[in-house]
Amino acid sequence: MSAAESLSGDTLNPSIGNTICDSKTPSVTELERMLENSRAQLNHVDEVWPNLYIGDLLIAHDKKQLKKMGITHVLNAAHSKWGSVGDQIFYGKKINYYGIAADDSPEFDLSKYFYTAAEQIHQTLNTPGARLLVHCILGMSRSASLVLAYIMIYHNRCLLDAVNRLILYRPISPNRGFLQQLRQLDIKLNEEKKLQSTKGAIYSSDC
């Protein structure tokens, strides 16, 4: 039985894994140590957020199993890469497909897709009855990085918190370049929060 099958609705509550974040963004080395400490079992697919699944190429190509799971949307972070045949024609009319042709390389700029992928995930999960599979080849680097960015952008989680959340349900291993890009996103979002907080304090004092 996969982790997704064994988890109850309560354990998938978005508040699970929520930590108090320090203002300092963890280093890449610190993040790698955290990822190594994951005790979750690696399956072909795992539900890591309500109706949001991370999986590998095997599950992505198994249309019968996707139908059984009730998957309505697929976000492929390895579009046209290394045997990934998924596209809208492959899935037909019953599954909505979105592809990102990302390389699992530290030199690849995945950050240019953080906001567009996060918006796609957000819109999908706000669609009644929708279930989304985000996958790449192994379901550990590209897809995991995009899901981390989604949690940070749309659920106001810091990187430390988002990582702690995901490794409860699936072992992940974004490459060092992706971890650095996620760090930069974390720093940017923290700066925006501080700016909003400052503006709020100024507004309150003026009232």
| 17 in a structural domain | no
Spatial neighbors of 158 by CB under 8 A, at least 6 apart, are: 21, 25, 152, 186, 189, 190
Asked if 21 contacts 160 with a C-beta cutoff of 8 angstroms, the reply is yes
Asked if 158 is an active-site residue, the reply is: no
Nearest to 82 by CA among 112, 65, 64, 102: 102
Name which residue leads in pLDDT, 11 or 68: 68
Cα 57 to the center of its chain, rounded Å: 16
| 7 in a structural domain | no
| 107 in a structural domain | yes
How far is the CA of 9 from the CAs of 4, 16, 49, 175, 199, in angstroms?
Answer: 10, 11, 10, 31, 38
| 39 in a structural domain | yes
The pLDDT of residue 91 is 93
pLDDT in tens, 90-99: 999 999 999 9
The pLDDT of residue 116 is 97
Residue 47 β-bridge partners: 53
- Give the integer Cα–Cα distance in Å for 195 and 203: 12
| 131 in a structural domain | yes
Mean per-residue pLDDT of the chain:
87
For the chain, how many structural domains are there in total? 1
Mean pLDDT of 116-142: 97
55: helix, strand or coil:
strand
| 149 in a structural domain | yes
The CATH number of residue 114's host domain is 3.90.190.10
- What tokens appear for 204 in the block? 């309150």
| 18 in a structural domain | no
The pLDDT of residue 181 is 98
How far is the CA of 139 from the CAs of 4, 144, 156, in angstroms?
Answer: 14, 7, 23
The pLDDT of residue 2 is 39
Q: Are strands 52-55 and 45-49 parallel, antiparallel or unpaired?
A: antiparallel
Q: Which range of residues forms the domain containing residue 158?
A: 25-206
The pLDDT of residue 34 is 93
Angle at 50 between CA 45 and CA 51, to 5 degrees: 60
10: helix, strand or coil:
coil
Residue from 21, 136, 158, 207 carrying the catalytic annotation:
136
| 52 in a structural domain | yes
- Examine the pLDDT at 199 and tell me if it is beyond 80: no
Angle at 172 between CA 115 and CA 53, to 5 degrees: 65
